[in-house]
A and B are shown apart, each in its own frame.
Chain A
Amino acid sequence: AQSVAQPEDQVNVAEGNPLTVKCTYSVSGNPYLFWYVQYPNRGLQFLLKYITGDNLVKGSYGFEAEFNKSQTSFHLKKPSALVSDSALYFCAVILYNNNDMRFGAGTRLTVKP
């Protein structure tokens, strides 16, 4: 099945430390990959996307993600975490027919002071 997986339900980091939220994908053809963030009682906000080109993409709030075709991964990273980064993060992929965006189950990031 074509999908995206987030292997960690929860990630905890200390403020100021680097953070990584993992995502792997399984699709036919070239994937279009996305990261979204959800704060409590809010809708999803777009962070960044990979469509083509440079494997390292930069997005909002200092986040970046690296597309790795050989490992079929698209991990979200930030060099220095903030307490305000605490939220639910979703990885998503658009399938080849481009009408269906599939989401991972989400990873809850907690940044402790």
Chain B
Amino acid sequence: DVKVTQSSRYLVKRTGEKVFLECVQDMDHENMFWYRQDPGLGLRLIYFSYDVKMKEKGDIPEGYSVSREKKERFSLILESASTNQTSMYLCASRGIYEQYFGPGTRLTVT
């Protein structure tokens, strides 16, 4: 079975802190994705990566950056956390068609 893991299930940070969310997949997938999920808005794509060191902006990249130094790991970085970044963050990797999701990180910024 494909496994996508995220470093934390719950995270509480203060405004202005730098936040790292880590995602690891074990299926040698090339494509990896970061989404945020908010009630009534579904999943919105923040960034995706189709290869090591490659990245593409999604719909809402502002306030975020990403890093893909190794194929299995895709990190989301909040350079200076703000309260409007309180959300559920979901990482995914893609096989041929379907995407496989991690369990999510619920981030609260106070």
Q: Measuring CB to CB, which residues of chain A are less than 8 angstroms from any residue of chain B? A: 9, 32, 34, 36, 41-46, 49, 51, 90, 92, 94, 99-106
In B81-110, which residues have CB < 8 Å from any A CB? Answer: 90, 92, 94, 97-104, 106
Whether B4 and A32, one on each chain, are in contact in the complex, defined by CB atoms closer than 8 angstroms, is no
Partner of B42, one of A34, A99, A100, A104: A104
Whether A32 and B42, one on each chain, are in contact in the complex, defined by CB atoms closer than 8 angstroms, is no
| Contact residues in A for B101 (Cβ distance below 8 Å) | 36, 43-45
- Select the residue from B94, B98, B100, B106 with max chain A CB neighbours within 10 A: B98
Interface size class of B (residues with CB under 8 A): 20 to 34
> Given known contacts A94-B97, A99-B48, what 6 new A-B pairs fall within 8 Å (CB)?
A9-B40, A44-B101, A46-B98, A90-B43, A100-B45, A103-B42
With known contacts A101-B33, A105-B40, A105-B41, A41–B104 Cβ distance under 8 A: yes
| Contact residues in B for A34 (Cβ distance below 8 Å) | 97-99
In B20-66, which residues have CB < 8 Å from any A CB? Answer: 31, 33, 35, 40-43, 45, 48, 50, 56, 58
Whether B56 and A99, one on each chain, are in contact in the complex, defined by CB atoms closer than 8 angstroms, is yes
A94 CA to B106 CA, complexed, in Å: 26
